[in-house]
Amino acid sequence: MDHKNKKQESNFWKGDPFTGFILGAIVGLIVGSINIATISFPWLGRLCFLGIWLFVGTQPRFKDKRTPEQIAKDKEERDQKFEEIREQAKAREAERQATKEQKREAKMQKNELKLQKNQLKIQKHQLKNRSKIKCPKCRSTNVQPLGVHKKGFSVGKAVGGTILVGGVGSLAGFAGKRSKKTDFVCMNCGKQFKK
């Protein structure tokens, strides 16, 4: 059995050729880039790559000295750590989603409270206006507005202004144009009036 393992093991690659290849490639790229920018020594990056790959791959001190059981155990521990990290990430994501949901609900409640406050303000304003305006016939406060009333040109005011002031007095006919009145109707007796 040991004889078969010895045959399978290479006499040349006694170290870790895979790690040597990766390390040599990284160092070779860095040295090659610096070489191109500054020194311009031909093949310097490739030579560094080959030297590191051969050195790490052939030296037995770089060989993994763990037993297959230790390698399997280390792999299980690594996989378990990765699983714990994944679970922690999922827990953090779930917590983040819960926090977003709580903020959304709090915002909706705040908006609902604002709507309720605005409705209360409108109701107070309506009650205040209803208490001020009363029907002249039955004294009821159950009145509704119909529309805004504007006064037009008044012939009587124009004639009176002309007599009192002269030619400019005809402008007095427009004096009532700015005053706005609203038409109301009493919901109890049906009387229409202006205020």
- DSSP letters spanning the chain: -HHHHHHHS-SS--S-HHHHHHHHHHHHHHHHHHHHHTT--TTHHHHHHHHHHHHHHH-GGGS----HHHHHHHHHHHHHHHHHHHHHHHHHHHHHHHHHHHHHHHHHHHHHHHHHHHHHHHHHHHHHHHHH---TTT--S-EEEEEEEE----HHHHHHHHHHH-GGGGGGGGGGGS-EEEEEEETTT--EEE-
Does 148 or 82 have the greater pLDDT score? 82
Residue 153 pLDDT class (50, 70, 90 cuts): low
The pLDDT value recorded for residue 2 is 47
Chain segment 89-126, per-residue pLDDT in tens: 999 999 999 999 999 999 999 999 999 998 888 888 77
pTM over 0.75: no
- Among 86-90, 129-133, 134-138, 168-172, the minimum mean pLDDT is found in 168-172
